[in-house]
Amino acid sequence: MTRLVALALAASLLVAPSVARACSVCGCGDPLVLAGDSMPVANTFRFALEYEYLTATARSDDEPDRTESLTQMTLRPVAVYSPFSRVNLVLQVPLIRKDWALSGTSTEGSEAATPMGLGDLDLGLRVFVWESTSIRAQRRQSLALTAGTSFPTGTDDKTAADGERIDQHAQLGTGAWGPYVGALYAFHQDPWNFSLSVTGRFRTTNSYGYRFGNAVLWSAQLRYRIVEPFAVQLGVAGRYAGRDVSEGVLQENTGGLVVSAVPGIAWNVAGPMWLLAQVQVPFATSLFGQQTVGVTATASLQFVLN
């Protein structure tokens, strides 16, 4: 893989923030970011170790006079394998810590829990179905289709100190399947790169009768290679999620619209190793009920192996 292709591949990690799978409104953009917008090369393997930090609050649907707060930290190993040219297989393994708290009232004390462990595994497929290249103009365009699902591997039965099961959003897993389909368009004309993606994610109901809201995610981003080992990007990513449903009842303080600015960098530290960093800064929200979504910060190391 040439240095130019490797740079475009690494910078593509910055297209959008990762999806927080235990929240119906956290996260925006492309669920297969590491698959990149560069045409895959047969028998190429990529590995990334990503750290993500996010915060959110919401009024409790079960106890409307109390507020839930959540701080989530995720260490996510990601592996991408291209068994054939034009095909990427992506496996994501989230290792999660959640600091959850429920505010107290005049008659009840506050509650807290800190579940840690494996979240919901995610397996995805990206197939590049069209490509147009102009050697004279040094221009390339491509279109890819995406499909995949998260698996109910994370536990969803964590309890507080009093033995009561904590809120579904504070659980390590959703307890359900999360299939998704989408498309990605990419345009490259060195040193500029542009990409556009849209994905629909669906949810099944878990054993507790809870179903996270279906969602549409999108992103548009422009990247610029300043010098050979360094690129910057600025993008916009969004997510619209329907309300969650618990035992047939809509949850008032879930779902809604989040649109974020996503600035980031990609730096070729040495050889096949890249350091990447980005922040997701919400600038437009229309969330149902009473909710807040904070800034999401992500940093990762990526290795490209031929």
171-193 pLDDT, tens digit per residue, is 999 999 999 999 999 999 989 99
User: Given pLDDT bands bounded at 50, 70 and 90, which one contains residue 29?
Assistant: low
157 CB neighbour count, 10 Å cutoff = 13
Domain that holds residue 62: 3-305
Indicate the burial class of 126 (C-beta count within 10 angstroms; 0-12, 13-18, 19 or more): buried
CATH number for the domain that contains residue 73: 2.40.160.40
Q: How many domains does the chain divide into?
A: 1
CA distance 154 to 138: 45
Spatial CB neighbours of 279, under 8 Å, sequence gap ≥ 6? 262, 263, 264, 295, 296, 297, 298
pLDDT at 305: 80
First to last CA, the chain: 7
Apex CA 251: angle with CA 248 and CA 255, to 5°? 120
- Write out pLDDT tens, residues 2-28: 343 343 333 333 333 333 333 554 666
Is 101 in contact with 111 (CB distance < 8 Å)?
yes
pLDDT at 271: 86
Rounded to 10 degrees, what is the CA torsion of 99, 23, 197, 272?
Answer: 30
pLDDT at residue 297 is higher than 80:
yes
Q: Per the omega criterion (within 30 degrees of 0), is the bond before 83 cis?
A: no
- Write out pLDDT tens, residues 212-229: 999 999 999 999 999 989
In the beta sheet, which residues pair with residue 51? 75, 299
